[in-house]
């Protein structure tokens, strides 16, 4: 079972957004931008799922 859930919602400007919420209700990631359609927001989620698994970690001191 996943420890997090993607949420799709409409913001106060009428744009679609997504966020990733941990089971403890804390937001652990968000799309950072509004989308003009629900479909575009879902595509953003798909992109994160597809690309983040193999992402490297950079340290900036």
- For the cut 80, the answer to whether the pLDDT of residue 9 exceeds it is yes
Q: Is the CB of residue 28 less than 8 Å from the CB of residue 18?
A: no
- For residues 3, 59, 19 and 49, what is the CA-based torsion angle, rounded to 10 degrees? -70
Q: In the structure, what pLDDT confidence band is assigned to residue 1 with cuts at 50, 70 and 90?
A: confident
DSSP 35: B
pLDDT of residue 49: 92
To the question of domain 4-51 being in CATH 3.40.50.1950, the answer is no
Mind listing the pLDDT tens digit for each residue in 31-60? 999 999 999 999 999 999 999 888 899 999
Looking at residue 2, its pLDDT comes to 82
16 near 40, Cβ under 8 Å? yes
pLDDT score for 41: 97
3 state DSSP class of 40: helix
Domain ranges of the chain: 4-51
The pTM assigned to this predicted structure is 0.83
């Amino acid at each position: 079972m996943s420890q997090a859930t993607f949420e799709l919602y409409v913001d106060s400007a009428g744009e679609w957004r997504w966020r990733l919420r941990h089971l403890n209700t804390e937001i652990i990631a968000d799309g950072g931008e509004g989308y003009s359609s629900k479909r575009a927001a879902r595509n953003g989620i798909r992109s994160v799922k597809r690309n983040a698994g193999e992402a490297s970690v950079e340290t900036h001191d």
